[in-house]
Amino acid sequence: MSTLYVLALPYTLVVCEKRDAARRVAQAIATSNFKMITPGRKLGRPSFFSITGRNNQHFIVCYAMGHLYGLVDAKGKRSTYPVFDVKWTPIKGNARGRQIIDTISTLSQKAAKFVHACDYDLEGEVIGYNILQYACNNKYENSLRAKFSTMTDEEIRSSFDNLLKPITGMAEAGKSRHMIDFIYGINFSRALTQSFKVSNNGKRYRNLSIGRVQGPTLAFVVDREVEIKRHIPEPYWTILAEFEKNGQVIQASYYKSKIRTLSEATSIVNACTNRYGKIMKVEKQKVIHKPPTPFNLGDLQKEAYRVFKFSPSYTLSIAQRLYIAALISYPRTSSQKLPMSLNYKKIISNVSQLGYPYVNLASSLLARDRLVPNEGFKIDPAHPAIYPTGEKPKGKLDNSDLKLLDLIIKRFLATFADPATSLHTTVMIHVNGEHIFTAEGNKMLYEGWIQIYKPYSKIVNIELPKLLENDILKNIAVSIDKKFTQPPPRFNQASLLEKMEKEEIGTKATRSEVMSTLFKRNYISYTTSATTLNTNGGKKGIKATQVGIQIIQSMRKYVPTIVSTDLTRNMEGQLEEIELGKSKSTAVIESAVDHLKGVMLTFKEKEVEIGKQITDAVLSSQNQQQQISLGTCPQCNNGKLIMIRSATTRKRFVGCSNYSTGMCKATAPLPQKGSIKASGKICTQCSWPIAEAFYGRQTKRQWEFCVNIRCPSKKPR
């Protein structure tokens, strides 16, 4: 390893966001002398990249680990609120981050120039700003900005040939967002946590949080949960019929989609059974299906959830890997537009060289004189829509990476293809002269872009035989189906993300993180209830927990602005104005502080009352979670063996539900780590239930065991 003291001077210090990004930048701009250096002689110091670029320029390319600096309460008092005096400081507990800061600080002392090469968005701007200001002793204003949307060598080199002035508006907007989110988050989180502690005289502690984006997002789920619980199912009946022509069966439904009484439905069926149908009208309409628009991050997350069931946060993590590998453009974008400055033909040509099936999909596009994408209306001043670079992977991609890359490539190609055309047919069938049934068909006439986007297209064919007006159809069967009105569907991760976008809360980069926090706090959880099964195809929906419901109810009663979409939406608008130079960050932050002062005063007055309501919800939720039934008690054959957590030791064990009545004393210990659930199996040796234990997310860390501690199978042999 080389050291700082043998470096050629002068050199330019380049600040990147992550190690992988720094390596890509260094490799792209290097013409010679690519090597790793470890400045100083202290053990554990990070190694950065030293290279020589064009015109014999010397660069040291360093990296952060995401945010190296965070906001803290300047007074350092952990439980007090309100808090308005905050400051930036190296993130506590991040020893590696501290070493990186020290090393960059040492390098900055002899650097002749500085280049900010972190991700070109608000978060990236703040990461680089803090490093240049605090580690490099106020060098942000003197730095230059590298802007690139892909990590290809060509674009990185171009960005270094055309370095920009510091993007002060973006830095101010990013810092202001952090400041506002921090003061809202720390004040409400401390207030909630303290109210919980005070309400039970300090006997219990629970880390609670709420923020200006968390609040409205949780409220969406809670409001949906309330709607579901209030819904009273009402019965209705539908009538289906099967007709036949030339051996082909035609499925048809009664024109009234809901029949309110059984007597009316029975009367219709009796009148139509064994009666021929006569076609009174055949309507055919050509439908044009425009190509899809290019992906922005939200669209990609929703489509990846629909197709692969990837969570939004998982999709973002994969997209980030693909970006660092120079396989796609920058993923954290709101844009649905591809600028004309992109060389579409070159990208498509590169994609075609990736092999089957892309060579066939791209060939028809490459034969065109002009390539014009079908764009959406959303724009992003920092980055275009997501597109593939056409670069060949330099390493092996895992299955999830390959799936997402394939989706992005095919979506990109599909935007340049022709519209698809289908023929939609609606047939009106009269039975017994007064009852009307309808059948619908859809036939693809020209696949256009669908041919490229397979197998991800949602458009399907529904075949109908050739039908003409006045044709007589044989009636095979008429049947009644009893149904019940359904409450609105629960959100899944894609639909909740879409709701956040529609209401304009959060950012493209933070929405999935907000959802993850709500899960972590146990404010929301997954469920496969009947409502979800009926509306989401059996997939997991999102349910508000008792704690989450109570948090929202308390906030709406005492501090309603924290769950208001208006507050968050207005704040997003003000932050955008800061970025555009239309507002001052100090004025926006002062306005937020003034608002919080009044809100915190109200909260303080109702602290005990709020805490008691949340405590009751927490205890009720814990009791429900504790009483998981593992099966029938083999001793009394009457009660249920349920999982219980001791109020004194907090250890979990199995006990019979008849224990409290004195009818049965069956108990057994349980493992204290991992998740436990019923397997539905019975031990063949002792007739006690068999439970399943899970450790982490890996299925290999899963095992079954007999609950009975005295089971003969557990005796040593």
Convert the pLDDT of each residue in 135-160 to its tens digit.
999 999 999 999 999 999 999 999 99
Which band of pLDDT confidence, cut at 50, 70 and 90, is reported for residue 696?
A: low
Half-sphere exposure (Cβ direction) of 179: Cα atoms closer than 13 Å: 24
* Residue 601 vs residues 185, 550, 556, 595: alpha-carbon distances, Å: 16, 20, 15, 10
> Domains of the chain, with CATH numbers?
4-166 (3.40.50.140), 176-231+488-611 (1.10.460.10), 235-291+420-484 (2.70.20.10), 297-414 (1.10.290.10), 627-714 (no CATH)
pLDDT over 90, % of the chain: 60
Give the pair of three-digit tokens for residue 144.
């230059």
- Please count the other Cβ atoms lying within 10 Å of the Cβ belonging to residue 520: 11
- Give the lowest-confidence range in 91-100, 152-161, 392-401, 651-660: 651-660
Q: What is the pLDDT of residue 647?
A: 56
Give residue 395's Cα distance to chain centre: 27
Which band of pLDDT confidence, cut at 50, 70 and 90, is reported for residue 697?
A: very low
Q: What is the pLDDT of residue 705?
A: 87
Task: Find the mean pLDDT for residues 323-330.
Answer: 96
Q: What is the pLDDT of residue 200?
A: 78
Q: Does pLDDT of 699 surpass 50?
A: no
Provide long-range contacts, Cβ within 8 A and 24+ apart, for 660-667: 663/636, 663/638, 663/639, 664/633, 664/635, 664/636, 664/638, 664/639, 665/635, 666/633, 666/634, 666/635, 666/636, 666/639, 666/641
Query: What is the rounded CA–CA span in Å between residue 282 and residue 131?
Result: 70
Q: What is the pLDDT of residue 524?
A: 93
Q: Does pLDDT of 113 surpass 90?
A: yes
3-state secondary structure 327-351: CECCCCCCCCCCCCCCCHHHHHHHH
Q: What is the pLDDT of residue 701?
A: 61
Q: Which residue has the tokens 């007090």?
A: 80
Contact residues for 106 (Cβ-Cβ < 8 A; gap 6+): 4, 39, 40
Q: Does pLDDT of 535 surpass 50?
A: no
Task: Find the mean pLDDT for residues 29-45.
Answer: 80
- Give the lowest-confidence range in 106-110, 408-412, 641-645: 641-645
Strand partners, 648: none
Q: What is the DSSP string of 610-675?
A: HHHHHHHHHHHHHHHHH-EEEEE-TTTSSSEEEEEE-TTT--EEEEETTGGGTS---EEE--SSSE
Query: What is the rounded CA–CA span in Å between residue 319 and residue 637?
Result: 54
2-16, 98-112, 596-610, 673-687: which has the highest mean pLDDT?
98-112
Over residues 374-419, the pLDDT tens digits come to 999 999 988 999 999 999 998 889 999 999 999 999 999 999 999 9
Structural element, H or E, at residue 500 = helix 493-502
Query: What is the rounded CA–CA span in Å between residue 567 and residue 215?
Result: 11
Q: What is the pLDDT of residue 537?
A: 41
Contact residues for 172 (Cβ-Cβ < 8 A; gap 6+): 578, 579, 585
Q: What is the pLDDT of residue 1?
A: 39
Q: Which residue has the tokens 């939720």?
A: 621
Instruction: At 524, give phi and psi (nearest 5°).
Output: -135, 160
Better-scored residue on pLDDT, 648 or 52: 52
Mean pLDDT of the chain: 89
Residues 166 and 115: beta-carbon distance below 8 Å: no
- Give the lowest-confidence range in 102-111, 406-415, 662-671: 662-671
Residue 603 in 3-state DSSP? helix
- Give the lowest-confidence range in 421-435, 477-491, 645-659: 645-659
Torsion sign (Cα): 574, 579, 583, 588 = positive
Residue type at 93 in one-letter notation: G
181-195, 265-279, 618-632: which has the highest mean pLDDT?
265-279
Give the pair of three-digit tokens for residue 67.
């945010």
Which band of pLDDT confidence, cut at 50, 70 and 90, is reported for residue 543?
A: very high
Length of the chain (residues):
717
Per-residue exposure over 649-672, b if at least 16 CB sit within 10 Å of its own CB, e if not: eeebbbbbbbbeeeebebebebee
pTM of the full predicted structure? 0.81
Of 18, 21, 11, which Cα lies nearest the Cα of 50? 11
Q: What is the pLDDT of residue 352?
A: 94
Q: What is the pLDDT of residue 624?
A: 57
Task: Find the mean pLDDT for residues 207-232.
Answer: 91
Give the pair of three-digit tokens for residue 552.
């929202």
Task: Find the mean pLDDT for residues 300-309.
Answer: 95
CA angle 573, 574, 575 (to 5 degrees): 90
Active site residues: 330
